[in-house]
Amino acid sequence: MSTKSKQDIAIQVSHVDKIYKLYDKPMDRLKEALGLTRKKRYVEHYALHDVDITIHQGECLGIIGTNGSGKSTILKIITGVLNPTKGDITVNGRISALLELGAGFNMEYTGIENIYLNGTMIGFSREEITAKMDDILEFADIGDFVHQPVKTYSSGMFVRLAFAVAINIDPEILIVDEALSVGDVFFQAKCYHKFEEFKKMGKTILFVSHDLSSISKYCDKVVLLNQGKKLGEGTPKEMIDAYKRVLVGQYIVEDNKEEAENTGKRLLDDPDLVEAANKKKKKVQTEGVNPDMLEYGEKEAEVTEFYITDNKGVRATAVMKNEEFAIHMKVKFHQDIAAPIFAFSFKNIRGTEITGTNTMFEKAYLEASKVGEQKEIIFTQKMTLQGGEYLLSFGVTGYEGSDFKVYHRLYDAMNVTVISDKNTVGFYDMCSMVTVKDIS
């Protein structure tokens, strides 16, 4: 039984709606504002609909979802930037929000002046800000530029200072919206280190990110939003699995509500969501596909479809590190081919080819194929690449006599996201087992 109580709730979001009125023309908005028409000239759009979220003190809660799902909207409502159309928000504790870095800065003021300005806006006294000044300046690490007007800063210097102010003010609640990826790789490492310090100190953290690896690593529980509705709540793994199904139009609809409660999930059996899922299923084959892929070959054998499936056999664009997954390619033969070779390869987003294989290397299929035949080739393996974004290429090749022949090749055909809560050095994880022994 949970030991949580109402007294230790840091943030309570209860039945919150946020509705925007969408007008066809600016004149329609003006007529309504002036009371010149009784006709309804707008369409209501629910950015959020009946959303409930409870965050207890000391918890790190992540919010995930596709673009337009309402993630940033709920953060702005919690921080008071927006008002809800309906519902209640309760916040117990002083908030520092990393939403739009530097939004409260005056471009004519110096860095020092903006530190005082921003700290005062958050609710700190001048004395409290002065006590934190050395930590802020050390974290930002922009040197003497802190005495210059911020309008003279580079974009990198600007976000470093803004981040340093927000994260060194010592809030009780930290709200982060995609802000840990600012600056160069060394500054990012410093940001994540500070983030981990906050967790160890027992601070309450609300974290919104598309970086599922960070969500998996840092969050105690995760809320999944889609089209303004809360689809579920549970462990990072449960919700990331659900999110992967959202990405390919296969929403989880939980029929057994008692089982859903036992597993800590609340998944909505919503007719609107089911209808949206059915529409999206028709587009599953295009999910993750690169519209600008490089394609060549005479198509004597043609790759007609390709996709990946996760360890549950569900089509996905994201794979959990160290879990089994499968790469599928379907090929149609437009002429007889004596010994076709089917291949795939992974590149990172910088274009470096990292790994790949084919049926000849694997000694898996060395038979002839006839015109009109269709084959599905499935490569199954464990994902040991580091967390990140990768590009997957496909090919059908072969030998005609001693000549190598490319029948059809698709370069950078689809995007694959690897989700990891532990990254090591380099492209691969050696999956090392560590033993430490005392030596007498």
Q: So what's the pLDDT on residue 187?
A: 74
Q: How far apart are CA 420 and CA 386, in angstroms?
A: 7
Q: Is residue 312 part of a domain?
A: yes
DSSP letter string, 233-268: EE-HHHHHHHHHHHHTT-----S-HHHHHHTT----
The CA-atom distances, in angstroms, between 118 and each of 76, 103, 106, 188 are 17, 9, 9, 22
The answer to whether the beta carbons of residues 96 and 175 sit under 8 Å apart is yes
Residues 60 and 206 in one domain: yes
Residues 326 and 188 in one domain: no
Q: So what's the pLDDT on residue 210?
A: 78
What is the Cα 97 distance to its own chain's centre? 19
> Last residue of a domain, which of 222, 246, 264?
222
Q: Is residue 130 part of a domain?
A: no
Helices (H), 302-379: none
Identify the CATH number of the domain in which residue 378 sits.
2.70.50.60
Residues 213 and 348 in one domain: no
Task: State the Cα torsion 76-227-179-75 to the nearest 10°.
Answer: 20
DSSP strand pairing (173-177 vs 95-98):
parallel
* DSSP bridge partners of 20: 45
Identify the CATH number of the domain in which residue 64 sits.
3.40.50.300
Q: What is the value of pTM for the model shown?
A: 0.67
DSSP strand pairing (388-400 vs 341-348):
antiparallel
Residues 204 and 351 in one domain: no
Residues 323 and 217 in one domain: no
Q: Is residue 10 part of a domain?
A: yes
Helix (H) or strand (E) holding 312: none
Residues 74 and 201 in one domain: yes
Q: Is residue 166 part of a domain?
A: no
Q: So what's the pLDDT on residue 229?
A: 93
The closest alpha carbon to 415, from 434, 393, 392, belongs to: 392
The CA-atom distances, in angstroms, between 169 and each of 49, 56, 135, 166, 304 are 33, 21, 9, 6, 55
Residues 413 and 306 in one domain: yes
Burial of 146 (0-12, 13-18, 19+ CB in 10 A): buried
Give the max Cα distance, the chain: 91
The CA-atom distances, in angstroms, between 402 and each of 298, 340, 364, 398, 399 are 19, 14, 21, 10, 6
Sheet holding 229-234, edge to edge: 95-98, 173-177, 204-208, 60-64, 221-226, 229-234
Residues 208 and 298 in one domain: no
SS3 189: helix
Burial of 11 (0-12, 13-18, 19+ CB in 10 A): buried
Q: Is residue 285 part of a domain?
A: no
Residues 215 and 303 in one domain: no
Q: Is residue 160 part of a domain?
A: no
- In total, how many domains does the chain have? 2
Residue that is written with structure tokens 């958050």 in the block: 122
DSSP strand pairing (221-226 vs 204-208):
unpaired
First to last CA, the chain: 46
Q: How far apart are CA 360 and CA 355, in angstroms?
A: 15
Q: Is residue 437 part of a domain?
A: no
Q: How far apart are CA 382 and CA 262, in angstroms?
A: 30
Q: Is residue 125 part of a domain?
A: no
Helix (H) or strand (E) holding 99: none
Residues 192 and 54 in one domain: yes
Residues 300 and 394 in one domain: yes
The pLDDT profile of the chain, 440 residues, written as one tens digit per residue, is 445 656 689 999 999 999 988 887 787 777 777 777 777 777 888 999 999 999 999 999 999 988 889 998 999 899 888 999 999 999 998 887 776 666 668 889 999 998 998 888 777 888 988 998 999 999 888 888 999 998 998 877 887 888 888 778 777 888 887 655 556 667 777 777 777 888 888 889 998 887 787 788 888 999 999 989 999 999 998 888 888 777 766 554 444 444 434 434 444 455 555 555 555 444 445 667 888 899 999 999 999 999 999 998 989 888 988 999 999 999 999 999 999 999 999 998 888 899 999 999 999 977 899 999 999 999 999 999 998 889 999 999 999 988 999 999 999 999 998 988 778 888 888 889 998 999 97
Q: So what's the pLDDT on residue 300?
A: 96
Q: So what's the pLDDT on residue 266?
A: 43
Q: Show the domain range for 356.
A: 294-419
Strand runs labelled E in 163-228: 173-177, 204-208, 221-226
Q: So what's the pLDDT on residue 385?
A: 95
Residues 197 and 323 in one domain: no
Task: State the Cα torsion 122-126-127-132 to the nearest 10°.
Answer: 60
> Last residue of a domain, which of 163, 197, 222?
222
* Residues with Cβ within 8 Å of residue 90, at least 6 apart in sequence: 9, 11, 12, 14
